[in-house]
Structures are given as C-alpha cells and as structure tokens.
Amino acid sequence: MKAKIVLLPGDGIGPEVVAQGEKVLSAVARLWGHQFDFESHAIGGCALDELGEPLPVETLEACQKADAVLLGAVGGPKWDNPQAKKRPEQGLLGLRKALGLYANLRPVTVHPALVNHAPIKADRLFGVDLLLIRELTGGIYFGEKTEGTEHAADVCAYSRKEVERVVRLAADLARKRKGKLTSVDKANVLATSRLWRKTTSEYIETQTVGVELEHQLVDAFAMHLIQTPKRFDVVVTENMFGDILTDEASVLAGSIGLLPSASIGDGTALFEPIHGSAPDLAGRNIANPYGTILSCALLLRHALKLEEEAKAVEDTVWRAINEKVWSKDLVAEGESYFGTEEIGEQVVKWLPQFCPHLIEA
C-alpha cells in the first residue's frame, strides 16, 4: 500500500511523541512492504508564532489531500490569553470542522500490569475493554451563544441526521466486537436527549442486526463507569457528555498518557493521543509516547484498513507494558523508567515478532 500521512507535531511534548509514532509507522511500512510518505506541518501555538494562524492554509490543504493525519497536541500557558482573538485550540477545532470529523473514538483497555496504577480498586479493572464514541460536531459546544454580565446562554441543538450518522458508526463497531451498545443521554430532562434516544432506538431496531442496545442516563452511567466498568463495551453519546465521560474513563487505564483516539467523519481521519501538550515535560525525554503509538494503530485500522498491522502494533505495546517498559508517569518517585525515545525504539525492536510473514519465514 502507498499512503500519504500528514504529521502535525504541534506544541509542548507533541513533537516528541509524534516522532515516536512516525518511527513505528515507518517500521510497519518496512516490515509489511508498504510505502508511507510523511509530511510535517504546523498547527496550534507554534503555527501562531511562525505564521500568525493556528491552522495555516497550507496545513489544512495538506490534511485534506492526505490519507491520514497524526496530531501531537496543541496549546499551552504561553498562549493562555482569554482576550486573544486567535488561540491554538482554534486550529484543532477548525481542522475537525473542515475535515467533517463527526465521531471521536476513544478505546480504553486496562493492562493487567497497570491495574494498581488507577485510583480504583484493582478487582474492578481486570477485563475492562471499552470503546467510547463521542459525537464531535453538534450539541451545546456549537449552538448559538449569548453572553453578557447578567445573562448568558448556550443553545444545545441536534438534528436526527447528526444523531443517526454517529449511531450508525457505533453500531457497526459494536457488531464487530461483542454486539453490545450503550447509548448515554439525559432523556428525562433534555429535549435533545429525547431526540437522541428516539433516533438511536429506531435506527438499531430497523437498520441493524446483532446489536443489543441499552440506554443509560448520563448521571447513572458516570457512576457505573467507575463502579462496574467491565459491564460496558461500546458506548455512544453526545458531544458534551462525551467530553466529560471520556476524561473520566481515562483514569481507568492508570495514566492519560496511555490512551489514543481517532476522529472520523466525511474526510481524512485524524488520530491523536488524548493528553495535552504538557509543556512542563517538553524537551526532557520523559513524555509517555504510548498514547501516540496506539493512535498509530488506530490510524492503520480505520484510515488505511490494515487490521493485521494495527493489531501487531497493539500487541507490541501490550508486551512492552507487560515487561515494564514504563515511562516516568507509570513508575513511583525515584524508580527507573524508560525515556520517550527509548520506548519508541523498544516497540520498533519487538514489532517484527508480531509480523506473521516474518515469523513464518
């Protein structure tokens, strides 16, 4: 396969973790006989500093022409000026909108070696393997806004079409897993949630086979996500609820640095770790690159349709964690750890063991 992959290193630790992602993708191409052509472009704060825009035209055009985009992180205290008309985060929001990315996928799998790293009882974490799907372009974040000194309002709005397209994706993914789909809403209070629930139920009943649907109110689900996380498999919800719940779910894995994400829609898909730019860690070779490397696995699976290669990357990361190739955020104070570059190198070193044609040879 030949593919063009745009790299958007961004700010803070973004360039360091994206470098490891590129390293792993290059190894995949070499081992499986693919040709991946990489292009790097600016986004976020560094783009503001260099080019005066958080999403330069050349960056957007390159992403629109690419087969996939790998992003590091954007933003940081340097650009935290509430009065500023241009902010780094506008680059990411603008890119999502321009590419038509309406669904954010966040898998949360708890490695047995790390169950004691989460602030939750270990017996609740064994076997947790979730896929949370957040609608990305509608809801209260994008509704009409009014703001004043005495009154403010944010309108939450959804159309049937917006709900149906993300539910369709969630159902397709659920069918490939355990056939279980949980839809999260607040239908007892919100009109948009009642539309969400009605649309979801009708779509599953009339358009899908082999998917079992359950509805959960968001407050109850937030509790069950911590109390009994292993009971859930694929979860779909609207934008704001998804924003909050996916961050809550991140604590299950033991470190936010472990978790990948994929934003999928009508155009080129975008892949990124869920962590921020962490400028205090930048340039110190201590950032956790696993979230980015696992985002590369999602890139291989969802953008390039290379399932074997995606699973090989995931299996290699699983082995590395099992053999305690741990970054600084995963060890106790004073304990030895692997640097960002060392982890990338170790994954590349072990990856051939999960390449079937090399094993057979």
Put the strands of the sheet holding 270-273 in their side by side order.
35-40, 2-10, 68-73, 270-273, 260-265, 101-109, 129-135, 234-237, 180-185, 212-217
Q: Tell me whether residue 243 is one of the annotated catalytic residues.
A: yes
What one-character-per-residue DSSP string does 212-237 give?
EEEEEEHHHHHHHHHHSGGG--EEEE
Q: Which one from 80, 172, 247, 280 is the annotated catalytic residue?
A: 247
pLDDT surpasses 80 at 9: yes
pLDDT surpasses 60 at 360: no
Determine the pLDDT at residue 357.
Answer: 79
Residues 231-267 pLDDT 10s: 999 999 999 999 999 999 999 999 999 999 999 998 8
Residue entry with tokens 């360039």: 15
Work out whether strand 2-10 and strand 35-40 pair parallel, antiparallel, or are unpaired.
Answer: parallel
**Band of pLDDT at residue 359, cut at 50, 70 and 90:** low
pLDDT surpasses 70 at 89: yes
Q: Mean pLDDT over residues 97-124, rounded?
A: 94
Mean pLDDT of the chain, nearest integer: 95
Residue type, position 351, single letter: L
Question: 178, 127 in Cβ contact below 8 A?
Answer: no
Measured in degrees and rounded to the nearest 5, phi and psi for residue 122 equal -60, -35
Determine the pLDDT at residue 82.
Answer: 74
Determine the pLDDT at residue 266.
Answer: 86
Q: Residue 215 forms beta bridges with which residues?
A: 183
Q: Mean pLDDT over residues 319-346, rounded?
A: 96
Structure token digits, residue 3: 């593919």
Q: Which one from 80, 219, 266, 280 is the annotated catalytic residue?
A: 219
Q: Mean pLDDT over residues 269-296, rounded?
A: 97
119-253 matches 1-106+256-361 in CATH topology: yes
Domain definitions of the chain by residue range: 1-106+256-361, 119-253
Work out whether strand 152-154 and strand 145-147 pair parallel, antiparallel, or are unpaired.
Answer: antiparallel
Residue whose C-alpha is closest to residue 86's, from 42, 41, 43, 48: 48
Q: Which one from 67, 129, 154, 243 is the annotated catalytic residue?
A: 243
Superfamily of domain 119-253: Isopropylmalate Dehydrogenase (3.40.718.10)
Q: Tell me whether residue 129 is one of the annotated catalytic residues.
A: no
Q: Which one from 141, 180, 230, 315 is the annotated catalytic residue?
A: 141
pLDDT surpasses 60 at 361: no
Q: Tell me whether residue 247 is one of the annotated catalytic residues.
A: yes
Residue whose C-alpha is closest to residue 104's, from 60, 141, 77, 75: 141
Residues 42-80 pLDDT 10s: 999 999 999 999 999 999 999 999 999 999 999 999 998
Q: Which one from 4, 23, 97, 186 is the annotated catalytic residue?
A: 186
Q: Tell me whether residue 123 is one of the annotated catalytic residues.
A: no
How many beta carbons lie within 10 A of that of residue 214, not counting itself? 12
Q: Mean pLDDT over residues 206-223, rounded?
A: 97
Superfamily of domain 1-106+256-361: Isopropylmalate Dehydrogenase (3.40.718.10)
Q: Which of 2-6, 19-23, 36-40, 245-249 shows the lowest mean pLDDT across its residues? A: 245-249
Q: Tell me whether residue 219 is one of the annotated catalytic residues.
A: yes
**Band of pLDDT at residue 83, cut at 50, 70 and 90:** confident
pLDDT surpasses 70 at 188: yes
Share of residues in the chain with pLDDT > 70 (%):
99
pLDDT surpasses 70 at 16: yes
Which residues, including other chains, have CB under 8 Å from residue 73's CB and lie 6 or more apart?
10, 11, 12, 13, 14, 17, 44, 272, 273, 275, 276, 277, 278
pLDDT surpasses 70 at 169: yes
Determine the pLDDT at residue 179.
Answer: 97
